[in-house]
Amino acid sequence: MGIEQIPIHVDNGSDGLSGNASAILREVADMLDRLARTGETGAIDLAALPLTPADKAWLSERLGKGEVEISMELNGASRIHETAYPGIWWITHLNPMGAEIGEFIEVTPIPDMVPSQSDDIVRGSESLNFLINDLC
Amino acid sequence: MGIEQIPIHVDNGSDGLSGNASAILREVADMLDRLARTGETGAIDLAALPLTPADKAWLSERLGKGEVEISMELNGASRIHETAYPGIWWITHLNPMGAEIGEFIEVTPIPDMVPSQSDDIVRGSESLNFLINDLC
């Protein structure tokens, strides 16, 4: 089932749950199963889905927290944590003022944005060689 | 030059620098150059080398801090930060009491211990399917 086929509920019960969180949890489980079997990675843009605060809290609680936390400072901060299920990561992007501007679940051994990128490694290597030449 | 060929100085100047830190910085620059050109990764075990506290501080200051910080809780904490040179990571392992038990420089797009491991992903997928079956 693709993310676009997740059945969307709009009626909130008294607990604030719309019914969408459990559909997303099932989709995440399918994605993790695909990652385990085939290595295929995936992501869900939580902001693109009609989730209530109670839905997000329910989803976050079910997925739990794992061993790894990552913080990145680019143009605003990003906070990433591994969930209790290795291969499922929860990612929150903030703007420079600290307001949340994006929230994703990524299903992958490591979220794409974390490893050093090839171009940056090449530029870093050149800079470090300059530094070393200056030290001599 | 392999790490075993780094010339080791044992005389400390008045600044506490032994001369070893600049040799290690050169080795790290060579490793980053190899990573940029061939994708070959490498690591230096700082505890295995005769470094004074001043040497470590000098090395840490030259390498600086980059955009990414990672903390892991396994059997004791590990703290990892990207240096100002993408592809060079500084890793400190602590025991459960918080005492430092290992310090490494890894030259790699992402340190080996950070990505979720295949076996753990498979086990996580099984656990998540159990959870979902319980919810139904």
Residues in B closer than 8 angstroms to A72, CB to CB, are: 67-69
Contact in structure between B71 and B79 (CB atoms under 8 Å): yes
**A14: Cα separation from own chain's centroid:** 29
Q: Residue A106 above 60 pLDDT?
A: yes
Residues in A closer than 8 angstroms to B117, CB to CB, are: 86, 109
Q: What average pLDDT is seen over chain B?
A: 91
* pLDDT reported for residue A8: 59
**Mutation choice for A interface testing from B67, B72, B135 by most A CBs within 10 A:** B67
Sign of CA dihedral B22, B23, B26, B31: negative
A129/B67 CB distance under 8 A: no
Residues B11-50: pLDDT tens digits?
Answer: 555 578 888 999 999 999 999 999 999 999 999 999 999 9
Angle formed at CA A90 by CA A39 and CA A40, multiple of 5 degrees: 10
Angle formed at CA A72 by CA A70 and CA A73, multiple of 5 degrees: 155
Residue B87 zone, left/alpha/beta (φ > 0; ψ -120 to 50; rest): left
- B34 to chain A, closest Cα gap in Å: 9
Residue A88: what residue type?
A: I
**B43: Cα separation from own chain's centroid:** 7
End-to-end CA distance of chain A: 60
3-state secondary structure of A20: helix
- A48 to chain B, closest Cα gap in Å: 23
Share of chain A above pLDDT 70, in %: 89
Residues B44-89: pLDDT tens digits?
Answer: 999 999 999 999 999 999 999 999 999 999 889 999 999 999 999 9
> Which tokens sit at A49?
């889905």
* pLDDT reported for residue A75: 84
* pLDDT reported for residue B15: 79
* pLDDT reported for residue B134: 84
d(CA B20, CA B52): 9
Residue for token pair 């005389």:
B11
Going by pLDDT thresholds of 50, 70 and 90, the confidence category of residue A54 is: very high
Nearest to B124 among A71, A85, A116 (CB): A85
**Helices (H) and strands (E) in chain B — how many of each?**
3, 5
Which CATH architecture group holds A3-135?
Answer: 2-Layer Sandwich (3.30)
Q: For chain B, positions 58-97, list CB contacts with chain A under 8 A.
A: 62, 67-74, 82, 84-88
- Residues A26-31 have a mean pLDDT of 97
End-to-end CA distance of chain B: 60
* pLDDT reported for residue B13: 56
Q: CA of A24: which chain B residue's CA is closest?
A: B132
Residues in A closer than 8 angstroms to B111, CB to CB, are: none
Consecutive H or E run containing A105: strand A100-107
Nearest to B122 among A36, A114, A116 (CB): A36
A113-119 long-range contacts, CB within 8 A, separation 24+: A113/A72, A113/A78, A114/A70, A114/A72, A114/A80, A114/B68, A114/B70, A114/B110, A114/B114, A115/B109, A115/B110, A116/B82, A116/B86, A116/B87, A116/B108, A116/B109, A116/B110, A117/B86, A117/B109, A118/B36, A118/B109
Half-sphere exposure of B73 (CA within 13 A, CB side): 10
